[in-house]
Structure 1
Amino acid sequence: MKKYVLTGAALVALTGAAWAQGPVSGSLLAASEATGNQPLPGATIYLDGQAVSATAADGSFLLPAVPAGSHTLRFTAIGFGPATVRITGQAEPQQVPSVALQMASSVTSEVLVTASRANDRTATAYSDLSREDLDKRNFAQDLPYLLDQTPSVVVTSDAGAGVGYTDIRIRGTGTTGINMTINGVPLNDPESRGAFLVNLPDLASSVSSLQVQRGVGTSQNGGAAFGASINISTLDVRREAYAETQNTYGSFNTWKNNVQFGTGLLGGHFTVDGRLSRMATDGYMNRAESDLKSYYLAVGYQARNTLVKFITFSGREKTYQAWNGVPEPAITGNRDLLQTYVDNGELSTTNAERVLREGRRYSYYTYDNQTDNYQQNHYQLHLSQGLGPDWNIGAALHLTRGFGYYESYRANRRFSAYNLPNVVIGNQTITRTNLIDRKWLDNYFYGGTFALNYQPKNNDRFQATLGGAANRFDNDHYGEIIWAQYASTSNIRQRYYFNEATKSDYNAYARATWQVLPRLGVYGDLQLRRIDYAINGVEDDQNDVTTRARYTFFNPKAGATFAVAEGQQLYASFAVGQREPVRADFTDRPAGDQSARPERLEDFEAGYRLNKTRGPRTLQLEANYFYMNYRDQLVATGQLNDVGTPLRTNVARSYRTGLELTGAYAPLRWLNLSSTLTLSRNRILDYRDVSYDEEFNPVVATEGRTTTISYSPSVVSAHTLEGQPIKGLRLALLYKTVSRQYLDNSANEARSIQPYQVLDFRVRYALRPAFMKEIELALLINNVLNREYVANGYTYGYLGASGQQETFNWYYPQATRNFLVSVGLKL
């Protein structure tokens, strides 16, 4: 017993030494040649990458308890360049010398992203994530998984473990309705409107900041945001030289290796930053492996009023096709249901036997090269130029080159489907063959963007931006036969379909904020957008998909903010968003059917924000109400086409409404709790369900009814408890809940995704030895409670001879308990 008492006393003594803490205070100034340095209120202060406080009205700050040892303080504010200070924690109070941030007239990377981002004056709902926020979540999973704890977000992975093809929905809207940009350049595919982040593996390691806007948000380049927008920036200027590497290994033979480097500021003007990454996994699902490679290179020149940056980044992926999912009997183990799938030709007897063996990790495909192969190269040239004390302009030229193919084994295909004659051998006529085909995409996306910003140096009551873009997309779609059991008249790489698509997209917008009274501000935003879209040729089913579509959209936005008291704000906004149909809305309809209509959204947002700091305690709260009223919304039917693209249909009237609650509370400097909860109602009015008879002819319900929009959960929540019990050690529990989602618009529970809850655990431990800036050891355990759940799926069916609905559901199971362990080095 005596031994344990002595040991405990020693541990208490050591802990006391480690927790020797003292206050740190100082002040932050806005640098100004005209009026001298002025106090800068509302700036964010990061301690070792974690936001801990904000400056007061007089620019002062106080950190009541900074642990012993070496630390980094970083100061950021909208319209200013960041600043970094090194401090050493000690028991006695210490005063940091005043820090001056350069104002917007000194061109910085923050200025370049201001034009496309929301702030507390634009009366919209948004979340900001810094490089530090992303780094602590970044192991090897794709970018959507790093956003999983932000409001109203649901993520899913085809292969089940967050690597390879992943997807994100915000307020029930998938990537076709989420406008993504990188440095203001549109990322969504101009035709499909999808943002395929599998083409840019490990992008998160090069991101300097990211903003998620929910709803229509502010005007940006690219398509309209029908659920949200994600604005990604890689433009940060790192002034000090660095070299880093992160190496991750985990379940399902998952690997991630990268190296990053930067020269810092050379000669006061030049910077070079780069990254090389490789990621690979076998996937949770059988035969769902991915082999991913990418690079990032940026060369910049910076003077007081000029910033020029050339950026190129690329990704190459080879991913085994897992988009087909698994049949429902693989999830339930129901043998009678499995036999129904066999009897109706959904599965062969051989595949049914594999379903029983492989269970929820079953893969439909067995051909060893059933893969998606794609490469995407991005080139961006950015210029930001100060035009006197109050004006600056940002402009960019961009080119994206994409090319690649799906390779697929096709069994028992008709020659006529490939525009080939039958094979005649003697008296025998062969009409079908087994073959391997490749479906190619070969495209160029290029154009320019600009934003002229008015930001008075000595008066921030009025700020304005005039911006726009002109972009062009050229895309060839074609198919080749590379092998056939019976070749007919074909040759290797026989082309059996071809169509070309072109799309021109022009937009211009003007936006301003005006602080009318000390407490009252107003916001206005007008956007005009023009789209010309054309397809010429035939699709893989030999249907003529020739299409001509032109649209002109006018999208006004307005809002107001009111400061209730210090750290408290009310806001409200109204915005209109309009968007054109995507390629599949035209090509996956009967030949000549161009009835797909553009969508219109009227979005009302209103909310309350609270930000309080008292001693070591901080409290942040936000309540946001939204009402999104749609005309002709294109909603998912629950079905997929033959390359995994969701099929959609227009519905005349629909809406989404709900309440988003977010909060963060730090009762102690080393402990933080953050939560978000979304309660929503997502409805289609006067919906008429479509069924199919045994000949697959559509049968439309005669009576309309109000129903739930597909893939739109009514409750989504995320909670993070994070603590730093000793210096360098960070522990976090992350809990996610998603309520029931319907696979189609019937609101039928037999065609739905069950509610699920997932708990993850994360630990990071950073050492700072004398010979290296940092060594970090990290562990992520996903799905700690080992839940068997699915996060996505699709459905289809028909009315049988008896008039009963035959339903066939396919799901995407997510991985049970799994881990990722990481070692990071910073030189």
Structure 2
Amino acid sequence: MKNYLVSGAVLLALPVTAWAQGPVSGTVTDARTGTPLPGATILLDGTPSAATNATGAFTLPAVPAGSHELRITFLGYQPLVQRLEGQPTEQRLTPALQSGGVLTGEALVTASRANDRTATAYTNLSRQDLRKRNFGQDLPYLLDQTPSVVVNSDAGAGVGYTDIRIRGTSNTGINMTINGVPLNDAESHGSFLVNLPDLASSISSIQVQRGVGTSQNGGAAFGASLNISTLDVRPEAYAETQNTFGSFTTWRNNVQFGTGLLGGHFTVDGRLSRISSDGYVKRGASDLKSYYLAAGYQGKNTLVKFITFSGREKTYQSWNGVPEPAITGDRALLQQYIDNGELSPEDAERALREGRRYSYYTYDNQTDNYQQNHYQLHLSQALGEAWNIGAALHLTRGFGYYENYRTGRKLADYGLENVVLGDTTITRSNLIDRKWLDNYFYGGTFALNYQPREGKLQATLGGAWNQFTNDHYGEVIWAQYASNSNIRQRYYFNDALKTDYNAYARATWQVLPKLGVYADAQIRHIKYTIDGIEDDQNDVTTRARYTFFNPKAGATFSLAEGQQLYASYAVGQREPVRSDFTDRPAGDQSAKAERLQDFEGGYRLTLPATSALGLVTAVRFEANYFYMKYRNQLVATGQLNDVGTALRTNAPRSYRTGVELTGSASANDKLSLSSTLTLSHNRILDFREVTYDADYNPITAAEGRTTTISYSPSVVSAHTLEGQPLPSLRLALLYKTVSRQYLDNSTSEDRRIKPYQVLDFRARYSIHPKFVKEMELGFLVNNVLNRRYEANGYTYSYPGASGGIDTFNWYFPQATRNFLASVGVNF
């Protein structure tokens, strides 16, 4: 508890250090609306010297004496050029850009983004925010310091399969879009970012919405939304490379280029990347490759852009985790794993030797292999001064398999005949199988936006039609006893077809100078069919249809300049995922759709940078209360199926409620502190635990009780203290705390993830040699205090030999102290 009290105290602390460097700072805004412009480029005497952050603010640490030219550019706005005189004291500017030039690509994602008028909780991250955090780890790790976020890595070091939870909700409840196009897998609802390595290097901005958020394309958000954009245009030509090396033989190499605006209208941008790592866990290796290519035309009223990006991953399977006795060294507990058949004696001895870095698999090609190709064609068209429309066509092609070595499998389970050798009948064989996915996801999206100059009323009408086809099948590629098999003996096949379309309308109206209201309504229809058999030879034929109506409403009230109160109510509904149907007994389609009522309310404070006592200080603070009331929430039981997907069950009544506190303060951009603290209760009402008798028949508890929802910590905090002791050197300390989590819904102390605290250190130093524009050296130390902790796990139980219930916990240990060093060059 002490750690969390310290976290709360840190949240309230403000840096007060004076620096006499004669800086120039300011906030860049839209001249018409006053909206901050994140990502604007600041050039001093023709040299890119800074960029605005998520709040539109920038700082030039030290401007030499004399006369200089300050140029500010932002796509979709006329460049602002003014003279600047260097002075020994700080200067504060308020540049406002006039709309003009070419149409901004961000108009294509505006429809699904929240702002101060929509009365929702959100966090914006700019390209610059992501870049300083990016050492090649997966995207969830770059979001680790945002409110209510918990991340983990199967291989332990942030490369390969990673996961993100927001407010206790896994990524199956987090709606992700790229340029307004859904990224979540249509069947599992998960977003497998391992398929898009180094995507962060091509992202121009991310908005993280917490709760239901605004209506957007894809499945309804049940914890949060990640709205990713790659659509901005860098007006100046560039070429750069980023290279990282670190612990566990981790490598990241990429090259990027952009033509800037050719002839004032045409752009081409591209990237090639590779990332590899051995992983913290033994045999937890990853080999990842990706590309990104975009070509576009921008006119005054028209933008057309074609984008393609792809990723290919090969990862050694680490999804089995590490058995609890390998972490604790408890030999008596390890014997239970042997007696129950969870581990062979040989595996158990290896578990003791390898400890928390143990990997269950030893077959040299126990790998997951998958490729995902994305194609997007975007159009943005201005229709007069008040109207514009954004539309997109998209296609995603995914295919791949994971390979398994299996021992003692029944030939009959693979459609093979028993082998008869003389008077011996062989019914089992060691074999290698591959489970395949082969899918297409395609469709179209649109958004018609009304944004008049007066700005009192803004409205959007949008929607999408998407279809997903997916073939699931398995092949035997080798068997010790081949029987009557053919090459690539196919032993199961099923195909799925899912059609999803939605329409929504949203409007904000500034009723009074201080009062604004917000309304949003979405209709979504889903048709889902599965035909065929699964690997266990069960018929998984499914027929399901859903129609959802999801209304939202809110209001904002300005107390004073920079102070705002807001409140909102939103409904979200979504269908069960594939495994909710296929992992149940044959013919059981009792999985129910989930419904969420989300109440949010809060207070925002933004104090623009002011000069006092030799300081240029800016302060932001937000307190957000949430109450998320669920009907039939699908919650993890703590168990996994054979491909590592969490098994889930409907909880009739449950809720999540809490408060999120977020604050930041900076002094001359020389010293800054940002903190976030989430305190929450996450409960299932009338929970009836399921146990098993000696014959493995389920027994449901007669009386219900209130329990904690699995994987839902009650306290999460994150703090970043960043300083600039030298003009080209930035140092940062990043501290994360996560309280106790339970592996299932029993609230049993024997099935939990212990609380943990992690401290990281980051340094970046830039130099400007004559032969390149800029060279940046970076250094990241993860887990500075060398803590041994686990961030994820699962559990299951069986009747024990003594008549009781034996529980088997498996965990995903995270890496002890490790480092990443990078060299970036801008040409």
Q: TM-score, normalised by structure 1?
A: 0.93
Residue in 2 that maps onto 1:518: 513
Cα distance in 1 for partners of 2:68, 2:713 equals 42
2:138 to 126, 139, 142: 142
Letter in 1 for 2:310: S
C-alpha contact 1:19 1:67 (8 A) present in aligned 2: no
Residue in 2 that maps onto 1:330: 326
Residue in 2 that maps onto 1:254: 250
Residue in 2 that maps onto 1:35: none
* Equivalent residues in 2 for 1:275-286, closer than 5 Å: 275-286=271-282
Residue in 2 that maps onto 1:185: 181
Q: Which sits farther off after the overlay, 408-417 or 796-805?
A: 796-805
Offset of residue 669 of structure 1: 3.1
Residue in 2 that maps onto 1:488: 483
2:595 to 600, 612, 616: 600
Residue in 2 that maps onto 1:548: 543
C-alpha contact 1:80 1:110 (8 A) present in aligned 2: no
Residue in 1 that maps onto 2:294: 298
The one-character-per-residue Cα deviations of 1:330-350 (angstroms, maximum 9, x if unpaired) are 110111111111111110000
Residue in 2 that maps onto 1:417: 413
Offset of residue 728 of structure 1: 1.0
Offset of residue 769 of structure 1: 2.5
Cα distance in 2 for partners of 1:575, 1:569 equals 20
C-alpha contact 1:291 1:318 (8 A) present in aligned 2: yes
Residue in 2 that maps onto 1:629: 629
1:801–1:520: structure 2 CA closer, same or farther, 3 Å change rule?
Answer: same
Cα distance in 2 for partners of 1:644, 1:524 equals 40
Residue in 2 that maps onto 1:365: 361
Matching of residue 129 in structure 1 with residue 131 in structure 2: no
Residue in 1 that maps onto 2:717: 717
1:353 to 346, 349, 356: 349
1:65–1:162: structure 2 CA closer, same or farther, 3 Å change rule?
Answer: closer
Cα distance in 2 for partners of 1:816, 1:675 equals 24
Offset of residue 391 of structure 1: 0.3
C-alpha contact 1:775 1:824 (8 A) present in aligned 2: yes
Offset of residue 22 of structure 1: 2.7
The one-character-per-residue Cα deviations of 1:121-177 (angstroms, maximum 9, x if unpaired) are 000000000000000000010000000000000000000000000000000000100
Q: Which sits farther off after the overlay, 160-169 or 18-27?
A: 18-27
Offset of residue 659 of structure 1: 0.2
C-alpha contact 2:78 2:99 (8 A) present in aligned 1: no
C-alpha contact 1:117 1:218 (8 A) present in aligned 2: yes
Matching of residue 155 in structure 1 with residue 151 in structure 2: yes
Offset of residue 699 of structure 1: 1.4
C-alpha contact 2:50 2:58 (8 A) present in aligned 1: no
Residue in 2 that maps onto 1:223: 219
C-alpha contact 1:67 1:727 (8 A) present in aligned 2: no
Cα distance in 2 for partners of 1:500, 1:587 equals 12
2:493 to 493, 498, 509: 498
* Equivalent residues in 2 for 1:553-572, closer than 5 Å: 553-572=548-567
Cα distance in 2 for partners of 1:521, 1:638 equals 44
* Equivalent residues in 2 for 1:611-690, closer than 5 Å: 611-613=606-608, 614-615=610-611, 616-690=616-690
1:459–1:281: structure 2 CA closer, same or farther, 3 Å change rule?
Answer: same
Cα distance in 2 for partners of 1:392, 1:140 equals 37
Residue in 2 that maps onto 1:15: none
Aligned residues: 797
Secondary structure of 1:21's counterpart equals: coil
C-alpha contact 2:766 2:776 (8 A) present in aligned 1: yes
Offset of residue 473 of structure 1: 0.2
C-alpha contact 2:78 2:101 (8 A) present in aligned 1: no
C-alpha contact 1:691 1:698 (8 A) present in aligned 2: yes
Residue in 1 that maps onto 2:192: 196
Offset of residue 81 of structure 1: 4.5
Letter in 1 for 2:385: P
1:198–1:39: structure 2 CA closer, same or farther, 3 Å change rule?
Answer: closer
1:588 to 574, 580, 583: 583
Stretches of structure 2 that go unaligned for 5 or more consecutive residues are 1-17, 43-48
Residue in 2 that maps onto 1:427: 423
C-alpha contact 2:559 2:565 (8 A) present in aligned 1: yes
Cα distance in 1 for partners of 2:83, 2:749 equals 58
Letter in 1 for 2:340: N
1:218–1:284: structure 2 CA closer, same or farther, 3 Å change rule?
Answer: same
Offset of residue 109 of structure 1: 1.8
Cα distance in 1 for partners of 2:796, 2:541 equals 27
Cα distance in 1 for partners of 2:635, 2:302 equals 45
Cα distance in 2 for partners of 1:602, 1:765 equals 47
Secondary structure of 1:350's counterpart equals: helix
Offset of residue 419 of structure 1: 2.0
The one-character-per-residue Cα deviations of 1:362-381 (angstroms, maximum 9, x if unpaired) are 00000000000000000000
* Equivalent residues in 2 for 1:463-482, closer than 5 Å: 463-482=458-477
Cα distance in 2 for partners of 1:656, 1:756 equals 22
Residue in 1 that maps onto 2:457: 462
Offset of residue 30 of structure 1: 5.0
Pick 1 or 2: higher relative contact order, CA cutoff 8 A, min separation 6: 2
1:713–1:455: structure 2 CA closer, same or farther, 3 Å change rule?
Answer: same
2:434 to 423, 432, 438: 438
Secondary structure of 1:195's counterpart equals: coil
Secondary structure of 1:342's counterpart equals: helix
Cα distance in 2 for partners of 1:419, 1:500 equals 19
Offset of residue 107 of structure 1: 2.1
Letter in 1 for 2:177: T
Cα distance in 2 for partners of 1:782, 1:438 equals 36
The one-character-per-residue Cα deviations of 1:383-433 (angstroms, maximum 9, x if unpaired) are 000011110000000000000001000000011211222111111111100
Secondary structure of 1:446's counterpart equals: strand
Letter in 2 for 1:592: G
Cα distance in 2 for partners of 1:418, 1:594 equals 25
Offset of residue 83 of structure 1: 5.5
C-alpha contact 2:53 2:128 (8 A) present in aligned 1: no
1:745–1:50: structure 2 CA closer, same or farther, 3 Å change rule?
Answer: farther
Residue in 1 that maps onto 2:336: 340
The one-character-per-residue Cα deviations of 1:294-313 (angstroms, maximum 9, x if unpaired) are 00000000000000000000
Letter in 1 for 2:108: L
The one-character-per-residue Cα deviations of 1:15-47 (angstroms, maximum 9, x if unpaired) are xxx97633547896756xxxxxx6846556887
C-alpha contact 1:123 1:523 (8 A) present in aligned 2: yes
Secondary structure of 2:112's counterpart equals: coil
Cα distance in 1 for partners of 2:549, 2:601 equals 23
Cα distance in 2 for partners of 1:545, 1:284 equals 37
C-alpha contact 1:21 1:68 (8 A) present in aligned 2: no
Say what the alpha-carbon RMSD is for the aligned residues.
2.4
Residue in 1 that maps onto 2:384: 388
Secondary structure of 2:133's counterpart equals: coil
The one-character-per-residue Cα deviations of 1:96-118 (angstroms, maximum 9, x if unpaired) are 99956343895202222211100
Stretches of structure 1 that go unaligned for 5 or more consecutive residues are 1-17, 32-37, 56-60
Matching of residue 379 in structure 1 with residue 372 in structure 2: no
Offset of residue 693 of structure 1: 2.6
Offset of residue 802 of structure 1: 3.9
Cα distance in 1 for partners of 2:379, 2:106 equals 13
C-alpha contact 2:70 2:84 (8 A) present in aligned 1: no
C-alpha contact 1:789 1:814 (8 A) present in aligned 2: yes
Matching of residue 530 in structure 1 with residue 516 in structure 2: no
Cα distance in 1 for partners of 2:213, 2:775 equals 40
- Aligned-residue sequence identity (percent) comes to 74
C-alpha contact 1:81 1:109 (8 A) present in aligned 2: no
Residue in 2 that maps onto 1:11: none
C-alpha contact 1:46 1:73 (8 A) present in aligned 2: no
